[in-house]
Chain A
Amino acid sequence: MNKAEQTRARVEAGLKRRYAAERRFRAYGLGAVLLGLAFVVLLFSTLVSQGWSAFRQAYVTLDVQYDAAIIDPEGTRDTATLSTADYAALVRASLKARFPEAQSRQETKALYALVSSSAAQAVQARILGDPSRIGGHERLTFLANDRVDQLLKGRIDRNLDEDSRSLTDQQVGWIDALAADGALSLHFNKGFFTQGDSREPEQAGVWGAVVGSLFTLGVTLLLSFPIGVSAAIYLEEFARRGKWTDLIEVNINNLAAVPSIVFGLLGLAVFLNFFGMPRSAPLVGGIVLTLLTLPTIIIASRAALKAVPPSIREAALGMGASRIQMVMHHVFPLAMPGILTGTIIGMARALGETAPLLMIGMVAFIVDVPKGLSDPATVLPVQVYLWADSAERAFVERTSAAILVLLAFLIVMNAAAVYLRNRFERRW
């Protein structure tokens, strides 16, 4: 056997092992991908199956008598009287008229509990909108109580013993009667997308948290993008390499790994206690999240700047461009896709951040949808946390639904990242 044949024989002997190693590696990779996918599917399917029902809500339609004796006994029709009238009594009366068999105090109380407490406000709005309705009657649709809603969605087991479920047999009977004549049914839950938080699950909406998240993220983006990008450009293009830049680099990398609650404590100590900024405000939340996202943005931007080929820098400098012209005309535009990706990853992290916001009071129970940066507000992940902590059965589905909204937000942001990256991508 000559030398060439020997070599060939050895190569062939090893071939099988080499291909086997490749196949094994592929199998591991595929396995890892499948495992990841399985968890994603599990997450989404549980969230959707739990939360989907929150997008529909039970509504009761009742015939309401606008009884002048209750609303405005003196007939003055002035707004002060009209806005303080006992509208709940009208709702109670119409329930009573629908089910006259409820007699005892306990029975009537159980009956009245079928309709949400928001019904009185709905009636008030009708009267204040047009006081001439007083004396007439109208069929109005109200939110049903959350337990009614849960029964209709099958989340309260009607076969259970009366004592171990939150509705009495009599209430179930009334609910069935209302459902039978079409006065009680599930409709699209508009309130969930337009209202703030509430103690009553049926009235609780996610909009307050959505707006809070938008304000907070807006502040974060407006602060962290310019600061982060400027810092990255300075460090990458202008700073002399040396002990100081090394020290700064190590610190930035460390900051990226600091637990977020620490940033919350910093925000509490500095922005609230020292500077006296408003508690629970998106402004402060945004500043705290800026501290949190800055390292991410700086690191990603520096990597993107570093990836711009040096030939472009040389070309610009060789033309007599000043350093800032070189950066602004050539390097920065080419690094833009990477910078944007880093920024959006940072923003996505900020969107999901809960712990630091707890420290600055964004965990407060806030009913009103915030109107400005200093209004008390909460954000989506904190809303999820608050609802997950609530006792009522109906908050379970709302928690999942709020998570779905949060995920939708994230998907939109990531889609924007992909779009922007493709948009700014330039080949050379």
Chain B
Amino acid sequence: MNTANPPVPENCSTVGVVTVENAVLSARGVDVYYGEKRAIKDVSVDIARNQVLAMIGPSGCGKSTFLRCLNRMNDTIEGCRVTGSITLEGQDIYDRSQDVVPLRARIGMVFQKPNPFPKSIYENVAYGPRIHGLAADRVELDEIVHTSLQRAGLWDEVKDRLTQPGTGLSGGQQQRLCIARTIAVNPEIILMDEPCSALDPIATARIEDLIDELREQYAIAIVTHSMQQAARVSQRTAYFHLGDLIEVGETDRIFTNPRHKLTEDYITGRFG
């Protein structure tokens, strides 16, 4: 299914092209308020299939806040209010009729700090399919766990200790377990909130390779502090500054030829 992209508001001040051809998730004129404070200002951007969108920007620029709006994780924060529209294949996810439970099954999330459940490795991956009733029987569930762990590149390391607690793995393994857990419910979009910030360079490299592989099947949005990481894993990059989406574009173009002054200052390391 490919619906026409929703129109971008006319007063959109973002430099670059915010829309893409095969968008799966479209944000239009999104504002986020924490109480009185306006944390995100009028952000419009598309997330495309089989593509990684990196969101960069200095600390406190609202990139994580924006990411958490995309699967309504901000619902849990008291006093947080979202206006504007975010549409998943033409359907507004903030619509009254939209149930967050199936929404989050379609838009999975990987967090900054690896947060496996304090249960066995198997149970961690099986949890999603179980609550959503994706497996008819144990054989099918085993199969889902197997393929998910394999796709997350963790199977060979854990196949002999599936019953051991997921919290006993190393940081990088835990994060891959969280990714396996997320893809076990077969989402359409995966949101990643600085997934490597707690990991060492080797574990980071593995996750980055994994993101590149996952792109073939999912739309991915990743928040990162590291510009090198954004350059390595993403095809499009969005630069946030104090709640504004300053510039969006092809990653290569953003890093080689930024059009906005703020973007240029940031990627050349003048602040951040």
> Taking beta carbons and an 8 Å cutoff, which residues of A are in contact with B?
240-241, 309, 311-322, 325, 329-330, 334, 426-428
CA distance A322 to B101 in the complex (A): 6
A311, A329, A428, most chain B CB atoms within 10 A: A428
- Besides the contacts A315-B181, A318-B104, what 7 more A-B pairs have beta carbons closer than 8 Å? A311-B111, A314-B73, A318-B109, A319-B104, A322-B101, A334-B118, A427-B167
Contact assessment for B73 and A311 in the assembled complex, using a CB-CB cutoff below 8 Å: no
Sample (10) of A-B pairs whose CB atoms are under 8 Å apart: A312-B115, A317-B73, A317-B76, A318-B73, A318-B109, A318-B182, A320-B128, A329-B131, A334-B118, A428-B118
Contact assessment for B178 and A427 in the assembled complex, using a CB-CB cutoff below 8 Å: no
Interface flags for B124-136 (1: CB within 8 Å of A; 0: not) read 0001100110000
| In the complex with contacts A241-B78, A319-B185, A320-B132, A329-B127 CB distance below 8 A | yes
Main secondary structure of the interface of B (DSSP, over half): helix
CA distance A408 to B127 in the complex (A): 44
B79: nearest chain-A partner, CB-CB: A241
CA distance A241 to B80 in the complex (A): 13
Contact assessment for B115 and A319 in the assembled complex, using a CB-CB cutoff below 8 Å: no
CA distance A92 to B126 in the complex (A): 80
Which residues of B98-120 have CB atoms within 8 Å of chain A's CB atoms?
A: 101-105, 108-109, 111, 113, 115-118
Contact assessment for A318 and B108 in the assembled complex, using a CB-CB cutoff below 8 Å: yes
Residues of B within 8 A of A334 (CB): 118
Task: Tell me if B65 is interfacial: C-beta within 8 Å of chain A.
Answer: no
CA distance A426 to B185 in the complex (A): 26
Shortest 7 CB-CB distances between A and B: which pairs? A320-B104, A320-B105, A311-B115, A318-B109, A428-B118, A315-B115, A426-B118
Contact assessment for A320 and B102 in the assembled complex, using a CB-CB cutoff below 8 Å: yes
Interface flags for B141-165 (1: CB within 8 Å of A; 0: not) read 0000000000000000000000001
Residues of B within 8 A of A426 (CB): 118, 165
B127: nearest chain-A partner, CB-CB: A319
- Contacting B182 at CB < 8 Å: which of A309, A316, A319? A319
Contact assessment for B117 and A316 in the assembled complex, using a CB-CB cutoff below 8 Å: yes
CA distance A315 to B110 in the complex (A): 8
Residues of A within 8 A of B108 (CB): 318-319
Task: Tell me if B71 is interfacial: C-beta within 8 Å of chain A.
Answer: yes
A240, A315, A325, most chain B CB atoms within 10 A: A315
Interface flags for B83-107 (1: CB within 8 Å of A; 0: not) read 0000000000000000001111100
Residues of B within 8 A of A311 (CB): 111, 113, 115
Min distance, Cβ A246 to any Cβ of chain B, angstroms: 13
Contact assessment for B128 and A319 in the assembled complex, using a CB-CB cutoff below 8 Å: yes
Contact residues on B (Cβ < 8 Å of other chain), bracket: 20 to 34
Min distance, Cβ A261 to any Cβ of chain B, angstroms: 40
Contact assessment for B73 and A315 in the assembled complex, using a CB-CB cutoff below 8 Å: no
CA distance A27 to B145 in the complex (A): 57
CA distance A311 to B109 in the complex (A): 12
CA distance A315 to B102 in the complex (A): 15
CA distance A321 to B113 in the complex (A): 19
- Contacting A330 at CB < 8 Å: which of B71, B105, B109, B117? B117
Main secondary structure of the interface of A (DSSP, over half): helix
Residues of A within 8 A of B115 (CB): 309, 311-312, 314-315
| In the complex with contacts A318-B71, A319-B108, A240-B117 CB distance below 8 A | no
B109, B117, B182, most chain A CB atoms within 10 A: B117
Contact assessment for A319 and B131 in the assembled complex, using a CB-CB cutoff below 8 Å: yes
CA distance A334 to B117 in the complex (A): 10
| In the complex with contacts A319-B104, A427-B118, A240-B127 CB distance below 8 A | no
A311, A312, A319, A321, most chain B CB atoms within 10 A: A319
Residues of B within 8 A of A427 (CB): 118, 167
CA distance A427 to B116 in the complex (A): 11
Residues of A within 8 A of B73 (CB): 314, 317-318
A334: nearest chain-B partner, CB-CB: B118
| In the complex with contacts A312-B117, A315-B116, A320-B105, A428-B167 CB distance below 8 A | yes
B110: nearest chain-A partner, CB-CB: A318
Min distance, Cβ B13 to any Cβ of chain A, angstroms: 31
B178: nearest chain-A partner, CB-CB: A315
B103: nearest chain-A partner, CB-CB: A320
- Contacting A317 at CB < 8 Å: which of B102, B104, B116, B181? B104
CA distance A240 to B80 in the complex (A): 13
Residues of B within 8 A of A318 (CB): 71, 73, 104, 108-109, 111, 182
B105: nearest chain-A partner, CB-CB: A320
| In the complex with contacts A311-B111, A428-B118, A320-B101 CB distance below 8 A | yes
A325: nearest chain-B partner, CB-CB: B131
B76, B103, B178, B185, most chain A CB atoms within 10 A: B76
Residues of B within 8 A of A240 (CB): 78
CA distance A330 to B116 in the complex (A): 11
Min distance, Cβ B77 to any Cβ of chain A, angstroms: 10
| In the complex with contacts A240-B78, A320-B104, A320-B105, A315-B132 CB distance below 8 A | no
Residues of B within 8 A of A321 (CB): 101, 127, 131
Residues of A within 8 A of B78 (CB): 240-241
B111, B127, B132, most chain A CB atoms within 10 A: B127
B101, B132, B165, B181, most chain A CB atoms within 10 A: B101
Min distance, Cβ B95 to any Cβ of chain A, angstroms: 17
B115, B178, B185, most chain A CB atoms within 10 A: B115
Residues of A within 8 A of B76 (CB): 313-314, 317
Residues of B within 8 A of A312 (CB): 115, 117-118
CA distance A309 to B111 in the complex (A): 14
Min distance, Cβ A204 to any Cβ of chain B, angstroms: 52
Residues of A within 8 A of B116 (CB): 315, 428
Residues of B within 8 A of A316 (CB): 117
A315: nearest chain-B partner, CB-CB: B115
Min distance, Cβ A104 to any Cβ of chain B, angstroms: 83
Residues of B within 8 A of A330 (CB): 117
Interface flags for B167-192 (1: CB within 8 Å of A; 0: not) read 10000000000100110010000000
CA distance A322 to B132 in the complex (A): 10
Min distance, Cβ A281 to any Cβ of chain B, angstroms: 44
